[in-house]
Amino acid sequence: MVDKTSLGIDISSDKINLALLRQGKDGIKLLKSASGPLPDGAIVDGNIKEPVALAGAIKKLVSDNKMRAKKITISLLAKPFLAQVIDLPKRVPSNIGQYVHSEVKHCAVLPVKNLAFDYCGMALSGRLGNSRFFVVAAENEKVTLIARALSRVGLDLDAVEPAVVATTRALYAKKIAKKFDSNVLIAVVQNATVSFCVFRRQVFDFIRFKDLGQTLKPSGPAFERFIEQINAIIQFYDIDVTDSPGCWEIVAALDDSVESADKFGESLRTVFGGIDVHLSLPQTVCEDTDLIGSSKAENTSLAAVGLAMKMLKRPDADLQVNLLSQEAANVKSVKKLALLTANIAATVVIIMILSVGLLNLKAERVSDNVLSQQQKGPSRETQEMMKEQSIVSLQITDLSEKLQTINEILELNRISDWDKILEDIRHSTPKSICITRLLSQKGSTVTIEGQALSYEGINLFADTLTKSSYIDSTTLAGTGKNDVDGLIMYSISCSLAKETRLSDSSVQSASPKQKAPSRSRKGT
């Protein structure tokens, strides 16, 4: 099932851009768009330095413009990152994911460990299977940094992808689809950086990034470097790509940083006189995309529109990559479960209150009947009524006690931070540790029990837990070795921070598929 509303958040070096879309029976409509400045110092050298300030600015922009969406996608903001096309060898590996990961690890600009990467297959029309893959990778911590910050302000992400991918998605229906006899070169300009993409016979085929050193103008060194890159790409296809159509179209997607966009377009058409050149501007979003026209489309970010389109149903070929880790995506599920639990508890309380009220009403009616019968004299009916009154009174007492207990539990849970505490515990758990049970006692401690491969892993786990803002200290309550499989049983007692309150509850492993930590992963 596709959600009808989707929000795209594009973050450039100096601005936050939002686009809210709704999918209906007639197509996709742009409901609202907005933009705002970045907080000072939030972005430095293409990386997020102040995630809390950035998340706060995004939240305020969303709230001020009353944008509500079930799905949210944000542009990748991390340097360095990798985005390239990988050709599979003639002998196709049995595990393509492992092969792609191995290729990504050899990229010199990225760290060897802690990588977030995703890939999707590509194939030219008429060919079966995928012999080429588009892969995107970045440092995982940089990807999840903004996801965690946004989650804390109530905005849970569903996807993270490069802005250039979103831009091509937005342009696909009008500028790329059905171009079977030509190559379409998309140049996405964001300040001094340009992303060049080539679609050959409407299928993504090439990507390159170039830092021009300064913002683009209708003339000057940056413009000359821009032209050189386009000429180099066209020459490469004319010489090295044997089945290239030979016919070209150029689409330049410009942001607000480009000075004199009209003159820039004239200069570009003068240089490439025999090629169809089109400029895509923030003011022409509805003309360049298949969005239903909207009076609110002025100065809308094309990348933000493409990001919002990612979570909507599209008939076109698309680059399906998502750098958001499953760990970060699970935060949304945990919050939904907590909300569902709270709603169920509230429903139970309402039912209990109504039940007590009905029983009280019934008791009053029985008492009135008993009094009336007593005035008339004792009878068998009077005895039956008195017996019924006694039963109803017992039911009222029992329900009242249960209602009081539920109210006490709800009051204790009212400011519970279970989802955040569980998230911190999950982040702190080493790969050599398996958690089998969580137990909270009197809202002040949490006991963690499970199995481990080594004592070192248990000590590391206990030390890492103390870094959580919800845990003051940890104590290794006990350890013991399992003679059957040789694993070490452990119990860690965590003292919660004073401002954290929890109800008495026990959380057992819910999945029957959960196994003890594998010995082959020891030392990872």
Q: Kindly indicate the confidence band of residue 208, based on its pLDDT and cuts at 50, 70 and 90.
A: very high
CB 136 within 8 A of CB 118: yes
Which residue, among 236, 241, 206, has the nearest Cα to 319 in the 3D structure? Answer: 206
Higher-confidence position of 81 and 313: 81
pLDDT, residue 415, reads 44
pLDDT band at 128 (very low <50, low <70, confident <90, very high): very low
- Identity at 244, one-letter amino acid code: S
423 and 406, same structural domain?
A: no
Residues 51 and 145 in one domain: yes
Please give the Cα distance from 245 to 125 (Å, whole number): 13
Please indicate, yes or no, whether residues 222 and 180 belong to a single structural domain of this protein: yes
Amino acid of residue 124? L
Are both 299 and 424 inside the same structural domain?
no
Residue with tokens 């600015």: 57
Query: Is pLDDT larger for residue 359 or for residue 414?
Result: 359
Give the CATH number, domain containing residue 255: 3.30.420.380
pLDDT for residue 395? 67
Q: Which residue has the higher pLDDT, 87 or 507?
A: 87
Tokens (6 digits) for 69 = 């969406």
Residues 434 and 352 reside in one and the same domain: no
Q: Are strands 43-44 and 47-48 parallel, antiparallel or unpaired?
A: antiparallel
- Residue 352: the pLDDT is 61
Label residue 76 left, alpha or beta by phi (over 0 means left) and psi (-120 to 50 means alpha): beta
Examine the domain organization and report whether 13 and 58 are in the same domain.
yes
At which of 324, 340, 365 does a domain end? 324
What pLDDT is recorded for position 523?
A: 34
Q: What is the CATH number of the domain that holds 456?
A: 3.30.1360.100
116 beta partners: 138
As a whole number of Å, the CA-based R_g of the chain is 31
Q: Which amino acid is at 127?
A: R
Query: Mean of the pLDDT values across residues 325-335?
Result: 55
Domain limits at 378? Answer: 331-413
pLDDT classification of 520: cutoffs 50, 70, 90: very low
Domain co-membership, 292 together with 229: yes
pLDDT at 277: 94
For 432-454, how does the pLDDT look when each residue is reduced to its tens digit (9 = 90+)? 888 888 887 666 788 899 888 88
pLDDT tens-place string over residues 234-246: 999 989 888 888 8
- Strand 248-253 relative to strand 183-190: parallel, antiparallel, unpaired? parallel
Give me the amino acid identity at 286.
C
Helix (H) or strand (E) segment spanning residue 421: helix 418-428
To 5 degrees, how large is the angle CA 278–CA 274–CA 258?
35
DSSP letters spanning 327-347 = HHHHHHHHHHHHHHHHHHHHH
Q: Is the pLDDT of residue 233 over 90?
A: yes
Domain boundary among 367, 394, 413: 413
| DSSP character string of 294-330 | -TT-TT--HHHHHHHHTTS---S---------HHHHH
Lowest-pLDDT range, 200-209, 348-357, 479-488? Answer: 348-357
For residue 357, give Cα distances in angstroms to 330, 364, 400, 406. 41, 11, 10, 17
Please give the structure tokens belonging to residue 400: 């009242």
Q: What is the DSSP string of 79-102?
A: SSEEEEEEEPPSS--S-HHHHHHH
The arithmetic mean of pLDDT across residues 28-55, rounded, is: 92
Please enumerate in sequence order all residues whose Cβ is within 8 A of that of 401, keeping only pairs 6 or more positions apart, or say none.
none
> What are the two backbone dihedrals, phi and then psi, of residue 440, each rounded to the nearest 5 degrees?
-105, 135
**Higher per-residue pLDDT: 33 or 356:** 33
Verify that 470 and 373 share a domain, yes or no: no
> How would residue 164 be classed by pLDDT, with cut points 50, 70 and 90?
very high
Please give the structure tokens belonging to residue 419: 């989802």
Long-range contacts of 403-406 (CB under 8 A, 24+ apart): 403/349, 403/352, 403/353, 403/356, 406/345, 406/348, 406/349, 406/352
Judging by DSSP bridges, how do beta strands 183-190 and 193-200 pair with one another? antiparallel
Q: Is the same domain home to 392 and 314?
A: no
Q: 42 and 178, same structural domain?
A: yes
| Angle ∠(82,84,85) on CA atoms, nearest 5 | 155
How many domains does one find in the chain? Answer: 3
**Residues 54, 109 contacting (CB under 8 angstroms):** no
**Residues 26, 32, 37, CA angle at the centre, nearest 5°?**
150
pLDDT of residue 503: 44
Query: What pLDDT is recorded for position 426?
Result: 84
Same domain for 360 and 502, yes or no, is no
Report the SS3 class of residue 491: strand
Of the two residues 310 and 373, the one the predictor is more confident about is 310
Cβ 331 vs Cβ 418: under 8 Å: no
Contact 46, 77 (CB under 8 A): yes
Q: What is the mean pLDDT of residues 179-185?
A: 91
Q: What distance in Å separates the CA atoms of residue 289 and residue 8, rounded to the nearest whole number?
A: 15
Give percent of the chain with pLDDT exceeding 70. 72
Coil vs helix vs strand at 479: strand
The predicted structure's pLDDT at residue 509: 41
Query: For the chain, how long is the longest CA-to-CA vector?
Result: 114
Q: Is residue 445 located within the same domain as residue 392?
A: no
Cis peptide leading into 80, omega within 30 of 0? yes
> Taking 80 as the threshold, does the pLDDT of residue 247 lie above it?
yes
Helix H or strand E encompassing 136: strand 132-139
Model confidence at 510, in pLDDT bands (50, 70, 90)?
very low
Contact 494, 429 (CB under 8 A): no
User: Residue with structure tokens 């996405």?
Assistant: 188
Distance CA 126, CA 32 (A): 39
Q: Distance between CA 201 and CA 179 in Å, rounded?
A: 6
Is the distance from CB of 233 to CB of 243 less than 8 angstroms? no
Alpha-carbon span 38 to 48, nearest angstrom = 11
CB 221 within 8 A of CB 156: no
Rounded distance, CA 297 to CA 30, Å? 7
For residue 433, the model assigns a pLDDT of 86
How confident is the prediction for the chain on average, in pLDDT? 79
Show which of 264, 292, 324 is a domain's final residue: 324
